[in-house]
Structure 1
C-alpha cells in the first residue's frame, strides 16, 4: 500500500463538508461462478457523519457488498465510491483513511494481543514508529483489552478477538470505520461497550458503517439504515423514518384473552395474537377509544390498552411479508 499524498486528506475533508456521501453505489452487482447472484443492482447512499446500519439476514449479501466497497473483490457490474473516490481503482488512496473489521479479525495466534497490534501498525507506511507504543496502548485501552494485552491471541475468546480486531481498526484516526458483525461473540456487557464506543467515534466525526443481522443492535446505535434480503436492497433512510413507515401493534392486557381476541377481530384488528394475559394485533383504521369501549361493553376486563410504536422488525415484516431470522 503506497503512502497517501498530502492532498488526499484535504480531499476527504472537502468531500465530507460538501455533503457528498461517504459511500455511494449505483447498480452494484456481484455474480459468482455458477450464476449465483450475491448482490443485485445495489443503490446505496451513506451520509457523512452517520452511524449507518447495513441490515439483513445472514446470506443476504452484506459481506459481499463490504468486500466490494473495500476493493477486496471486483464487482461484476455497477459502480462504487468510497470517500468520493472510485473503488476498487482508488484502493491505495482510500484505505489509509478507512478502518475495517470484516469477517472477523485475522490474528497471529502465537503473538500476544499487544504484539498483533504492533505488527498491524508496522505495516502502515503512514504510521510514525516513534509513537507506535502509545498508539497501541491507546487502542487496547479503548476496547478494554489492556489487562489481556500480554496474553497470546490464540488464548483469546471469540469476543476478545473481536475487540482486538476493532483495536487494530482504531490504531489511526479514520474518516470511515467499516464493521462487519462487530458484536459477534460478545456477551451483553461487551455488546453495550462496543455500542458505546461506536457512538463515541461518531461524535468525533467518524462515519461508521455497521453490518449486522441483529435488528435490535441497529435500532439502538444507528442513525441511518438499509435493509437487504436475498441480495437486493429493500429500503434505506433514517432509522426513525423507516420505523415510522410501519404500523405499531395494539397491545391489550387482560385476564380474558380469548374474549378480547374475539372482540378485537370484530372491531377490525388484524393479525391478532393471543398469549396468557395479552392480546396483540394491527390497529384498525378507526378511533381506538371505540375499540376500547367495545371491549368493556363485552365484559372484557381491560388492564392495559396501548399501541406499541413500530420497530425496525415491524418495518421489515411490512416490507418483505416475512419474519427476520436473527439466528441466521
Structure 2
C-alpha cells in the first residue's frame, strides 16, 4: 500500500481504501477527508460499508488495498501511538455483565496505560455523569437496557480527553429523550475541540448534529462535504395545500412542475420544480386565476434524504 501524505487540518484521510471478503468488495476505493474540529456524519444504509471502514480506521482489520491516516499517522501501523488519543464505540459496547456499570468503567480505565490511577474514581464518576448513568452506576451491566448499555459504552470512550471520538450508531436502542441527550453531548464535545466521527443510518440524526457528512452506498463513497452543501444542489419540492387538487395539478403541470403527487389526507399537492423554475409569485397567481383555492403555498427545503435519492436514484432503505 502506498501511504498518503498527511493533509493539514484533516484528522482522518483515506486513499483508495478497500476491503474485500470472499470476492465481494465491502468497501470499494474510499477517498475520505474528515476536517479537524468537525462533527462528521458517516451516512449510509445498513450494509453500505460504514462499520467495515471504521474497523479499518481503528486498526482492527487490515485493508485489502489503499491507505488510511488517523491524526496524521498511517493506520494500522501506528495504532499504539494513535489509539490512546481516540475514543471509540464500535458495534456496541463489550461489557462484563456480572460487574456494575461503574466497575466496568474502572476496568476500562485500568487497561489504559496512560491513565493515572490516582484520579481514576473522579474520571469514572465524570464519565457516568456525562451520559446520565450516575443513578445506575452500581447496577449490574447485565440488567441494563440496550440504551443504557449504549450510554455506558459511550462513557468508556469519554474517560480521557480525546482528539477524536469515533461513534458507530451511538443512538442505537435509545428512546427519543436519550437520543436528544446524546446529540447534545456530541455538540458539547465538538465545542470543546474534539473531532467527532459519527456513523449512522438515520438521515435526521446527521442533519441535526453534523457539520460535515459523507454518504456511502453499496461500499462506495457517493459524496462528501459540509452538510448544508450536500442538499443545496438538490431542488426542493413545491407544496400547495388546496381543496382543488385536480385543477392544481393541471396548472402546475402546465408550468413545468413534474412528479406531481396528491395526498388526500393532507389536502396537499407536491411536485418537483423544473431546472429553470418559474417565479413562485406568478405561479401562485396562476393558480388563483384558475379558480384554485390556495390555502398554503411554499417550497420545502431539500433534505439529505432528497439529496441521497437524487444521487443514487433509490430510497434510503435502512434494512438493506
Does the alignment pair 1:31 with 2:23?
no
Query: Which stretches in structure 2 are left out of the alignment for 5+ residues?
Result: 1-5
The alignment status of 1:240 with 2:208, answered yes or no, reads no
User: Does 2:141 correspond to 1:128?
Assistant: no
Deviations 1:90-127 (A, max 9, x none): 00110000000000000011111000000000100110
1:210-250 Cα offsets, whole Å, 9 max, x none, are 00000000000000000000000000000011111111111
Contact residue 256 and residue 300 of structure 1 kept, 8 A:
yes
More deviation in 295-304 or 109-118?
Answer: 295-304
Alpha-carbon distance in structure 1 between the residues aligned to 2:131 and 2:160: 14
With normalisation by structure 2, the TM-score equals: 0.95
Query: Displacement of 1:327 after TM fit?
Result: 4.8
Distance (whole Å) between structure 1 residues aligned to residue 83 and residue 302 of structure 2: 38
Q: Aligned equivalents of 1:146 and 1:19: distance in 2?
A: 39
Q: Distance in 1 between matches of 2:39 and 2:51?
A: 17
Q: 1:301 aligns with which of 288, 293, 305?
A: 293
Q: Is the 8 A contact 1:107 1:116 kept in 2?
A: yes
How many Å separate the matches in 2 of 1:138 and 1:264?
A: 58
Instruction: Give the distance between the partners of 1:261 and 1:166, measured in 2 at CA.
Output: 50
Residue 271 (structure 2) pairs with residue 281 (structure 1): yes
CA contact (8 A) 1:162 1:182 kept: yes
Matching residue of 1:254: 242
Q: CA RMSD in A?
A: 1.1
Q: Which consecutive residues of structure 1, in runs of 5 or more, have no partner in the other structure?
A: 1-14
Aligned to 1:311: 303
**TM-score normalised by the chain length of structure 1:** 0.93
Query: 1:150 aligned to 2:165?
Result: no
After superposition, the C-alpha distances for 1:298-319 in whole angstroms (9 at most, x for unaligned) are 2111011101111111111111
Superposed CA deviations along residues 108-160 of structure 1, whole A, max 9, x for unmatched, are: 11111000000000100110111100000000000000000111111111000
Aligned to 1:177: 165
CA contact (8 A) 1:19 1:47 kept: no
Among candidates 84, 89, 92, match of residue 96 of structure 1? 84
**Equivalent residue, structure 1, for 2:283:** 291
Distance 1:20 1:136 in 2: 31
Match of 2:43 among 42, 55, 68: 55
**3-state SS of 1:259 partner:** helix
Residue of structure 2 in register with 1:21 after alignment: 10
- Matched residues in 2 for 1:44 and 1:158: separation? 31
